[in-house]
Chain A
């Protein structure tokens, strides 16, 4: 906080001029068009595409990945200040000064996202060919995955907030369809609806933010907002920032809108890997970093982001520590890791690039961990309870090895990917907001604990499976993508930081300022590793050296009980919103039937025989209706008169 002003003065982005797309950059739209075509063909072809649907879906996203690589090379060839390319496709919505183009923007920020989405997306498509092999609706699964890829690409490639919104809810729709993919299970259907509704609370914020931009700045394109937001009233800018934060909380499952993510694990595991770990849930981080110019101008909004991130990184880690369901454990971990990204984004120009850096490494190693979990489930008849695992190391060597790499990456052991990215965040937080820095450090320790617990319960200790279980290694279609991701989890952190210079790459878009002072980097690294090792040792002693009970013990601390109940997120929502909401709804339905509509209908029903009832209805009719209509007119006129006094 001490040197924020100095940072703002020097750390601002300097994207240079926006360049209109020509030549190779005409391919930007193709990036999205390919998976759109894949989804449309698969949905319209229906059962006819059963035999080839998965191949088409995979080919589509692979082609998109190739296009992304071509674009990446083309962007590298451009000078640093000419890497913001716009492609205007058509005028989308024009009413007076409200002008929304259907236009795409490729710049270093959206480029790394496009590579992550199509790269990790391709691997997960390939994995799913085998994982969903026995599902009669496999081609529909691939249709939805392609739809997701297209929407996610639109989200990160839109050149304005309104078009971003289309991708934003588009990925929400894909998420809804995929969480509820096994819709015959009521739990899956409920979880899908919950995810969408909670996200809509966030979208309320996104809607308001865009309206405020339009009313204040007269524009909502990134270029227009960045150019004019400095002239706006600072209170308004803060409100825009807070509204964007609300949106980001919904999409990224951050406190207080975190409750949907754990339930979202009802979806097939590749979905959890792609959507609910690597890409979609991190869109909130993208939104905040994309809006760097807005957050740079409002310290209040930035502190709110830091607060949300810090709370969630601890919450997620605590929840992850108590889950016996391997996927829910990983989901808690995802919340926590995105909390780190939010924390970084809230630090301003010292943190934006590291938020994205961690997002990228996390996208790789968390996808790996989820695919590993899927592989374990595949070999264990879809069992998710880690208390029924144990000693799988020997029967699933490859899965054990790659999961182990993911494990080392997420807990931040050098030289694995998570070490570089998480360490930068802890360092920047320590300098800017020491309290958040300490929380981030503690979080790293808890991460060490819950990941060790997961590793030990799954792969070590005694076998606790049912007699019928025959754990086996998965097919090469599944292990292949995991091995590729494992290579990424080893190399990506080092490569991006020291070979790719990710700060320099992103700086023109989001701004970058080195965090200085406070504490020596080496000391902090030593402290972090120390804390992680403590967490690892506690986890190992408890879950590898002692016997793990097959039934979760009931006599546990209040903290464990709370963590098992997701820190009572659902209960709070139920008490604050659901139950009062149901009550309100019931009351209003009653009021509408009995009071607004007049009492005549109900009373008639209670009286005597049919003929008598008919007679009463006939005679009561006109008078009663005249009366209620009159009452309605009176209310209407009264409100009109009252309103005009405002």
Chain B
């Protein structure tokens, strides 16, 4: 396949596949699941091929590029391309979708929506998210950014728990508000491009190359940043997340928190920093404060949760704080760490949400207090849950440690005080994970837990690859970092930021 078709195929295949699944005849629930899984595996294969076609040593910032005129009157192109940062997020996405489909085999059974609809929406969501990661036209990015709300809205609102309508509307409204701010900033950017280039453009490289007045930069930055901060989600705009993640079916929670929310932090790194370097530096200390609040606050609130899914959702508020911290520390360790963190968090949150889903389905409740002693009756489930939890608390030897430590070290070199506060998060993480484990898995077997079945073959098959990746990338993160590093260096160059020099070398000058 010619290189320029990889990305458009990655977008089109799941969307067309989703449409195919949606028109399968009624009563063919089993077939819909199989077809959806098959398509997601094809997308995975395609993603791996795209990854192999990518050359991480290349001088070209974007590869596998392809562009077609879309709305010539506005200078809008259907332009795709990937750098190392977007590539690793794409790879994470194409791995997680089949995992979610396999693990969520029964998520749509007995809900108010159809089974084929559920899997169709998942595939369509995958296509749109892959498009967001690959878009090099900012208008296209915006359209896909908004469009991906629609499948997610239906996944929550039709297939979720008791409060699904409420959670879906809340999610939608929050996101819409962010989207509106981004649209306003995008229009502003477009107007500026007319001034500078004579004709308006949404081309990423052209917009990055613009000279923008410092004050205007600040406003435009805020428009994009707030949209991404809602998506990420950052404190204090995070409260839609626990509701949405708790009400969504487990496989959709994974796609929401593990994949969709990454668009927020990805957008900060891809759009906010390169397009508005001065504003980014101006706001960086404030954003770092917000990130720190998120890290500590998210962790403390997670400790106090009584609902397993909400608990895990709040741990993500804390983890997203780390990701944002690393991005705005403006060091190569911080930003590479954050990018790797996005990938690792996707895997660890997937394992956690899916396992909690298995537990909740068996027990008929997601409340912590309804569990206890599960390890005695379902040791495999308990063991995998422990590994997933250890990944969340960033145990050295697991992938999340690598990214968390890079973020912390990269922050320390520029903002030591921020790194010290953020490091407190590792203590809180041990508390929220191990206390959750203690209350659900250990102790005497509780009445409702007694007959609980251990994981079946399909469930183990879905979770095991994720945990294998978490362990493998803990010891061998360099193949992934080798893809990320050049693109982060590129971003640092555009922003005009360089790594602080070690203090002894500094004083030696």
Which residues of A are interface residues toward B (Cβ below 8 A)? Answer: 43, 90-98, 102, 162, 165-166, 168-170, 173, 176, 180, 183-186, 188-190, 192-193, 196-197, 200-201, 203-204, 207-208, 210-212, 214-219, 228, 231-233, 236, 584-586, 588-589, 592, 596-598, 617, 621-622, 625-626, 628-629, 631-633, 635-637, 639-644, 646
Minimum C-beta distance from B406 to chain A (A): 6
A169, B397: Cβ atoms under 8 Å?
Answer: yes
Q: Which residues of A contact B481 (CB under 8 A)?
A: 93-95
Asked whether A596 and B442 contact (CB < 8 A) given A95-B485, A197-B434, A643-B287, the answer is: no
The residue on B at minimum CB distance from A180 is B442
Q: Which residues of A contact B452 (CB under 8 A)?
A: none
- Say yes or no: is B416 at the interface (Cβ < 8 Å to chain A): yes
- Say yes or no: is B170 at the interface (Cβ < 8 Å to chain A): yes
Asked whether A96 and B333 contact (CB < 8 A) given A186-B443, A214-B409, A586-B304, the answer is: yes
Which residues of B are interface residues toward A (Cβ below 8 A)? Answer: 166, 169-170, 173-174, 177, 222, 226, 229, 234, 236-237, 239, 282-290, 293, 297, 300-301, 303-305, 331-333, 336-337, 373, 375-376, 383, 390, 395-397, 401-402, 405-406, 408-410, 412-413, 416, 419-420, 423-424, 426-427, 430-431, 434-435, 437-438, 441-445, 475-478, 481-482, 485, 488-489, 499-505, 507-508
B290, A216: Cβ atoms under 8 Å?
Answer: no
Binding site secondary structure of chain B: helix
Give the complex CA separation of A589 and B432 in angstroms: 14
A644, B286: Cβ atoms under 8 Å?
Answer: yes
Asked whether A215 and B503 contact (CB < 8 A) given A94-B481, A201-B427, A632-B236, the answer is: yes
Q: Say which residue of B177, B289, B300, B442 sits within 8 Å of A639 (CB atoms).
A: B289
The residue on A at minimum CB distance from B382 is A183
Asked whether A186 and B444 contact (CB < 8 A) given A173-B390, A200-B426, the answer is: yes
A203, B426: Cβ atoms under 8 Å?
Answer: yes
Give the complex CA separation of A166 and B401 in angstroms: 9
A588, B301: Cβ atoms under 8 Å?
Answer: yes
Give the complex CA separation of A197 and B475 in angstroms: 24
Q: Which residues of A contact B397 (CB under 8 A)?
A: 166, 169-170
A204, B423: Cβ atoms under 8 Å?
Answer: yes
A584, B300: Cβ atoms under 8 Å?
Answer: yes
Give the complex CA separation of A217 and B166 in angstroms: 53
Q: Say which residue of A98, A168, A218 sits within 8 Å of B505 (CB atoms).
A: A218
Q: Which residues of A contact B426 (CB under 8 A)?
A: 200, 203-204, 207
Q: Say which residue of A184, A203, A631 sits within 8 Å of B444 (CB atoms).
A: A184
Give the complex CA separation of A591 and B437 in angstroms: 25
Q: Which residues of B contact A197 (CB under 8 A)?
A: 427, 430-431, 434
**Most A C-beta atoms less than 10 A away, residue of B284, B500, B504:** B504
The residue on A at minimum CB distance from B395 is A169
Q: Which residues of B contact A626 (CB under 8 A)?
A: 173, 177
The residue on B at minimum CB distance from A236 is B503
B504, A232: Cβ atoms under 8 Å?
Answer: yes
Q: Which residues of B contact A215 (CB under 8 A)?
A: 409, 412-413, 416, 500, 502-503
A228, B435: Cβ atoms under 8 Å?
Answer: no
Q: Say which residue of B173, B177, B303, B332 sits within 8 Å of A585 (CB atoms).
A: B303
Q: Which residues of A contact B289 (CB under 8 A)?
A: 639, 642-643
Give the complex CA separation of A188 and B297 in angstroms: 29
17 example contacts (A-B, Cβ-Cβ < 8 A) are as follows: A93-B406, A94-B481, A96-B336, A97-B499, A173-B395, A189-B438, A201-B427, A211-B412, A218-B505, A228-B504, A232-B504, A585-B304, A597-B239, A636-B236, A636-B237, A644-B285, A646-B285
Minimum C-beta distance from A96 to chain B (A): 4
Asked whether A589 and B434 contact (CB < 8 A) given A189-B442, A211-B408, A640-B286, the answer is: no
Give the complex CA separation of A539 and B378 in angstroms: 49
The residue on B at minimum CB distance from A597 is B239
Q: Which residues of B contact A190 (CB under 8 A)?
A: 438
B478, A588: Cβ atoms under 8 Å?
Answer: no
Q: Which residues of B contact A598 (CB under 8 A)?
A: 239
Minimum C-beta distance from B315 to chain A (A): 14
Asked whether A592 and B239 contact (CB < 8 A) given A95-B333, A646-B285, the answer is: yes
Q: Say which residue of A207, A629, A643 sits within 8 Å of B237 (CB atoms).
A: A629
Give the complex CA separation of A622 and B169 in angstroms: 9
Give the complex CA separation of A50 and B104 in angstroms: 33
The residue on B at minimum CB distance from A633 is B226
A96, B423: Cβ atoms under 8 Å?
Answer: no
B290, A96: Cβ atoms under 8 Å?
Answer: no
Q: Say which residue of A162, A592, A625 sits within 8 Å of B170 (CB atoms).
A: A625
Asked whether A95 and B304 contact (CB < 8 A) given A169-B395, A204-B423, the answer is: no
Give the complex CA separation of A425 and B381 in angstroms: 50
Minimum C-beta distance from A172 to chain B (A): 9
B412, A183: Cβ atoms under 8 Å?
Answer: no
Q: Say which residue of B229, B390, B502 sits within 8 Å of A216 (CB atoms).
A: B502
Give the complex CA separation of A597 and B261 in angstroms: 19
Q: Say which residue of B287, B405, B419, B434 sits within 8 Å of A162 (CB atoms).
A: B405
Asked whether A211 and B409 contact (CB < 8 A) given A585-B304, A633-B237, the answer is: yes
A585, B301: Cβ atoms under 8 Å?
Answer: yes
Asked whether A184 and B476 contact (CB < 8 A) given A585-B303, A586-B304, A636-B290, the answer is: no
Give the complex CA separation of A190 and B177 in angstroms: 45
A95, B431: Cβ atoms under 8 Å?
Answer: no
Minimum C-beta distance from B481 to chain A (A): 6
Give the complex CA separation of A201 and B437 in angstroms: 19
The residue on B at minimum CB distance from A183 is B442
Asked whether A193 and B405 contact (CB < 8 A) given A200-B427, A588-B301, A639-B286, the answer is: no
A217, B419: Cβ atoms under 8 Å?
Answer: no
B283, A644: Cβ atoms under 8 Å?
Answer: yes
Give the complex CA separation of A219 and B226 in angstroms: 37
Minimum C-beta distance from A515 to chain B (A): 32
Minimum C-beta distance from B242 to chain A (A): 8
B476, A90: Cβ atoms under 8 Å?
Answer: yes
Minimum C-beta distance from B276 to chain A (A): 13
Minimum C-beta distance from B464 to chain A (A): 11
A208, B236: Cβ atoms under 8 Å?
Answer: no
With contacts A95-B337, A169-B396, A585-B304 known, what are 12 further pairs, Cβ within 8 A?
A: A94-B478, A94-B485, A96-B485, A98-B409, A170-B397, A186-B444, A193-B434, A215-B416, A589-B304, A629-B177, A642-B289, A643-B290
**Most A C-beta atoms less than 10 A away, residue of B288, B301, B413:** B301
Asked whether A97 and B424 contact (CB < 8 A) given A207-B405, A636-B226, the answer is: no
Give the complex CA separation of A162 and B236 in angstroms: 34
Q: Say which residue of B286, B504, B505 sits within 8 Å of A642 (CB atoms).
A: B286
Minimum C-beta distance from B186 to chain A (A): 18
Give the complex CA separation of A211 and B418 in angstroms: 12
Give the complex CA separation of A173 and B396 in angstroms: 10
Q: Say which residue of B222, B375, B485, B505 sits within 8 Å of A183 (CB atoms).
A: B375
Asked whether A184 and B304 contact (CB < 8 A) given A95-B481, A166-B396, A639-B290, the answer is: no
Minimum C-beta distance from A92 to chain B (A): 7
**Ranked 3 nearest A-B pairs via Cβ:** A643-B286, A218-B502, A640-B286
B333, A98: Cβ atoms under 8 Å?
Answer: yes
Q: Which residues of B contact A196 (CB under 8 A)?
A: 430, 434
The residue on A at minimum CB distance from B314 is A592
The residue on A at minimum CB distance from B229 is A636
Q: Which residues of B contact A631 (CB under 8 A)?
A: 236
Q: Which residues of A contact B229 (CB under 8 A)?
A: 636
B441, A183: Cβ atoms under 8 Å?
Answer: yes
Give the complex CA separation of A184 and B427 in angstroms: 25
B427, A204: Cβ atoms under 8 Å?
Answer: yes
Give the complex CA separation of A193 and B443 in angstroms: 13
Give the complex CA separation of A640 and B489 in angstroms: 26
**Most B C-beta atoms less than 10 A away, residue of A90, A188, A626, A640:** A640
Q: Which residues of A contact B443 (CB under 8 A)?
A: 183-186, 189
The residue on A at minimum CB distance from B289 is A643
Q: Which residues of A contact B293 (CB under 8 A)?
A: 639
Minimum C-beta distance from A604 to chain B (A): 10
Minimum C-beta distance from B443 to chain A (A): 5
Minimum C-beta distance from B297 to chain A (A): 6
